[in-house]
Amino acid sequence: MATKADKIFVNLPVKNLDKSVQFFTALGFEFNDQFTGENATCMVVSDSIYVMLLVEDFFKTFTNKEIADTEKSAEVIIALSADSKEQVDEIVNNALGAGGSPLNDKVDHGFMYTWSFRDIDGHHWEFIYMDESAAAQG
């Protein structure tokens, strides 16, 4: 039997929960108050994708491993779809304006367009627009 999950919960350590909420609010994300407290919040990406932003000390209670130093290493690349190239640009520009930092240059393959940034805690985010009809012809 194949494993199938209906939802994904990405857990990310953050240094300052309030600043992280402000940052992601500037990108247009909303939060589920039911799963928000002083140590964590649930950022709603879609009906089936959630990002749990966990204060570092609270995050440490879920693992016996060290938290990755995002200045030196990447623990994950969070890649999310966008509806258009313009939306990719808008989200990344909003991230940069809210205190995020540039990571990779825009990449335009014609059928696929990507651009990425680091959030205020150094996590790698990438937004992707894919014209599936053009990709199928390719």
Q: Report DSSP letters for the chain, one per residue.
A: -----S-EEEEEEES-HHHHHHHHHHTT-EEEGGG-SSSEEEEESSSSEEEEEEEHHHHGGG-SSPPP-TTT--S-EEEEE-SSHHHHHHHHHHHHHTT-EE-S--EE-SSEEEEEEE-TT--EEEEEEE-HHHHHH-
Give domain status of residue 18, yes or no: yes
Note whether 93 and 138 are same-domain residues.
Answer: yes
Domain count, the chain: 2
Note whether 54 and 113 are same-domain residues.
Answer: no
* pLDDT of 63 higher than 60: yes
pLDDT of amino acid 87: 96
* pLDDT of 132 higher than 80: no
Among 10-19, 66-75, 113-122, the range scoring the smallest mean pLDDT is 66-75
Note whether 81 and 113 are same-domain residues.
Answer: yes
Task: Give the domain extent around 92.
Answer: 75-138
Note whether 80 and 129 are same-domain residues.
Answer: yes
Residue where one domain finishes, among candidates 59, 84, 102: 59
Note whether 134 and 98 are same-domain residues.
Answer: yes
Give domain status of residue 68, yes or no: no
Q: What is the mean pLDDT of the segment spanning 80-101?
A: 97
Note whether 79 and 118 are same-domain residues.
Answer: yes
CATH number at residue 92: 3.10.180.10
Strands 49-55 and 124-130: unpaired
